[in-house]
Amino acid sequence: MTETVSMLKPAANNPATQPELTDALITSVKAKAAAVLALLQNAVTTLEAVTFANSFGAEDMVLTDVILKNHLAIEIFSLDTGRLPAETYDLMAKVESHYQTKLNVYFPKSETVEFYVKTNGINAFYDSIALRKSCCHMRKVEPLQRALKGKNAWVTGMRAAQATTRVSLPVREFDEANKLEKFNPLSDWTEQEVWAYIRMFNVPYNALHDQFYPSIGCAPCTRAVAIGEDIRAGRWWWEDPTNKECGLHVKK
């Protein structure tokens, strides 16, 4: 219990993770959280086989809390790429303990990873966009396809304000690539509202957020950002911002 409380305490030097909880902000978060719950309840009722892709970022922890706290019949799964930060694995363990649940974890196919590394090198994703996308595909996209098999809909924690590639993100859309419905319940949430929810409901989150990592992926492809920098600046920082997607959410 002491470990969990320590982990939930915001770092004093990162204002992004501890917004001032004004009455207006609290009211906004409660209203949006109620809308998220209603959306997910309707999805379960109408589509039945619904799953949630949890990458353990701040947004995903909000959805995890909504789903588990309200006992929604939505499966939660995660993609373990084999290159995640230690802090992400720590959070996975804390989530299972905090919510008394078990997560479904999908891994990349070992033979594909072995061939890629043998052919291109252990950190080949730095060498070209093509090699980086190949790495993302084998570690994320292919496992995602297995995770979504047999499902009618999946839920993500994406927000429209996160990146230039997501500015017109709808709350609900048809995922043509995977042939099923896709829900983005936090599409219109601000970063401040996400962190306000986490503070209001004492939700566990990745310790890297307090070290100025607003967006967290694989360890070699994620870095901290400077105050004022775009929240996705730390992801694949060597690439053009208009190209910063791993392939999980790219439309055909």
Inter-CA distances, 76 with 123, 148, 205, 243, Å: 30, 11, 16, 28
**Residues labelled as active-site residues:** 246
What is the C-alpha to C-alpha distance for residues 252 and 82, in angstroms, rounded to an integer?
Answer: 27
- 3-state SS, residue 77: strand
Sheet of 180-183, strands arranged across: 104-106, 74-79, 50-53, 153-155, 180-183, 172-175
Q: Taking the C-alpha atoms of 230, 156, 182 and 33 in order, what is their torsion angle to the nearest 10 degrees?
A: -100
Query: 89: part of which helix (H) or strand (E)?
Result: helix 86-99
Residue 39 CA from chain centroid, whole number:
19
Q: What does the pLDDT read at residue 243?
A: 58
Closest CA to 183 of 32, 34, 31, 44: 44
- 3-state SS, residue 177: coil
Q: What does the pLDDT read at residue 248?
A: 53
- Residue for token digits 């429209």? 160
- Residue 32 clears pLDDT 70, i.e. is over it: yes
> What pLDDT digit, counting tens, does each position of 190-246 carry?
999 999 999 999 999 999 999 999 889 999 999 998 877 887 788 888 787 665 554
The reported pTM is 0.85
Q: What does the pLDDT read at residue 249?
A: 42
Q: Is the dihedral of CA 44, 46, 49, 54 positive or negative?
A: negative
E-assigned strand segments in the chain: 50-53, 74-79, 104-106, 153-155, 172-175, 180-183
| 30 backbone dihedrals φ, ψ, rounded to 5° | -65, -40
Domains and CATH numbers, the chain: 2-243 (3.40.50.620)
16 contact partners, CB below 8 Å, separation of at least 6: 191, 195, 209, 212, 214
Q: Which amino acid is located at 150 in the chain? A: G
The mean pLDDT value for 160-172 works out to 75
Q: What does the pLDDT read at residue 49?
A: 96
Choose between 241 and 34: higher pLDDT: 34
- Residue 4 clears pLDDT 80, i.e. is over it: no
What is the C-alpha to C-alpha distance for residues 126 and 60, in angstroms, rounded to an integer?
Answer: 27
| 116 backbone dihedrals φ, ψ, rounded to 5° | -60, -50
- 3-state SS, residue 46: helix
- 3-state SS, residue 72: coil
> What pLDDT digit, counting tens, does each position of 70-122 carry?
999 999 999 999 999 999 999 999 999 999 999 999 999 999 999 999 999 99
Are the C-beta atoms of residues 176 and 252 closer than 8 Å to each other? Answer: yes
